[in-house]
Amino acid sequence: MKKLMYPVLLIGLVALFGCQGKESGASGSQERNVTIKMGFQAGTASNEYAAAELFAKRANELSDGSVTVQIFSGGQLGDDRSMIEQTAQGALDMVFAETGRFGLWIPEMEIFGYPFAFNSFDHLLKTMETPYGKELQAKLIDNGWRILADGYNGTRQTTCNRPINSIEDMKGLKLRVPNAAANLNFAKYSGASPTPMAFAEVYLALKTNAVDGQENPLSTINAQKFYEVQKYCALTAHILNDNNYVISEMTWKKLSDKQKNAVQTAAKEAAELQTKKFMDDETSLLDSFKQNGMTITNPDRAPFREAMKPMYDAYTEKYGEAAVKAIEATY
């Protein structure tokens, strides 16, 4: 396992936020009570928060009250990278994390965040159940992370101040993207001019035409009201976002078999709720965008996918073809 470095502050977090336990019952021989600290970036109005609340409720019920989950939303405990690292070290018990995000520590996993790697959330889930996917899950455990369940977190689409009917319409477009390799490469290989900027600046940049467009899941486009400053939404569906329910392996080992079953089952139920919420939103939000004056276009994705070939060629040169073959086998 790679050695992860943290500020001295995290030493305090181990005591403050670590999985805490004490025996319940008069005899002291009953199930030990544990408190699980769970952190993530999304705010209290998000689908993720609603799912986390269900997780907390069900974990408590299924464990007969011996598991209590405390939720720290909105990045209270740090950014996503910091919280993922804290979870590996046992300073935080649980975190939400995209599969591709683990590429920061297990480089071959970065492909899970590549543009057009998956044609659906179900496709991603099936890939993680292949022998190759199970090898990756074992590597995650070796590094301190155990995936309990995975939920759908939306698919990134492209809004613009002009219609995108084909990949040719991307040429020269100033596209705001986060400063992440997969998003930068999507813009670059599509022919656009990738323009990284802070998320808080995007609305004004779109309004003033400092950039021509941006890319985000429909739920984010709606929450940030980008439909007010963009006339067109192209269903490029270029990057699929997922949301793993990740528990620290250190925490997992402290749980009784009954508590493990409770936490595992609760995570699966929460992930199912989250998936349903995001999928329902995607259906309703397109109608809402149309009512707000947006025109929806559906460009052919095949030329976009073909344009990403240099990314995949570079990946296979570094890490071999195992991941690509697993992805292709589950189409």
Answer yes or no: is 4 within a domain: no
When mean pLDDT is compared across 10-14, 53-57, 188-192, the lowest value belongs to: 10-14
Judge if 73 and 33 occupy the same domain.
yes
* Confidence class for position 91, pLDDT limits 50, 70, 90: very high
pLDDT > 70 fraction of the chain, expressed in percent and rounded: 91
Answer yes or no: is 28 within a domain: yes
Judge if 207 and 264 occupy the same domain.
no
Number of domains in the chain: 2
Judge if 235 and 246 occupy the same domain.
no
pLDDT at position 5 over 70: no
Judge if 186 and 231 occupy the same domain.
yes
Query: Average pLDDT, whole number, for the chain?
Result: 91
Judge if 81 and 127 occupy the same domain.
yes
pLDDT at 200: 86
Give the domain CATH number at 116: 3.40.190.170
Judge if 52 and 198 occupy the same domain.
no
Judge if 204 and 307 occupy the same domain.
yes
Judge if 90 and 38 occupy the same domain.
yes
| Cβ(200)–Cβ(171) below 8 Å | no
pTM of the model: 0.85
Answer yes or no: is 1 within a domain: no
When mean pLDDT is compared across 19-28, 120-129, 156-165, 171-180, the lowest value belongs to: 19-28
* Confidence class for position 30, pLDDT limits 50, 70, 90: confident
Judge if 214 and 306 occupy the same domain.
yes
Answer yes or no: is 267 within a domain: yes
Answer yes or no: is 254 within a domain: yes
Q: What is the mean pLDDT of residues 82-93?
A: 97
Judge if 161 and 139 occupy the same domain.
no
d(C-alpha 61, C-alpha 38), whole Å: 17
pLDDT at position 27 over 80: no
Q: At what angle do helices 322-329 and 121-128 cross, to 10 degrees?
A: 120
Answer yes or no: is 328 within a domain: no
Q: How far is CA 245 from CA 40, 122, 174, 292, 330, in A?
A: 10, 16, 35, 35, 22
pLDDT at 20: 54
Answer yes or no: is 326 within a domain: no
What's the pLDDT tens digit per position in 136-171? 999 999 999 999 999 999 999 999 999 999 999 999
pLDDT at 8: 36
pLDDT at 272: 98
pLDDT at 16: 42
Judge if 128 and 174 occupy the same domain.
no
Judge if 97 and 168 occupy the same domain.
no
Residue 48, domain extent: 9-152+241-280
Q: What is the mean pLDDT of residues 38-54?
A: 93
pLDDT at position 236 over 60: yes
* Residue 275 C-alpha from the chain's centroid: 12
pLDDT at 199: 87
Answer yes or no: is 330 within a domain: no
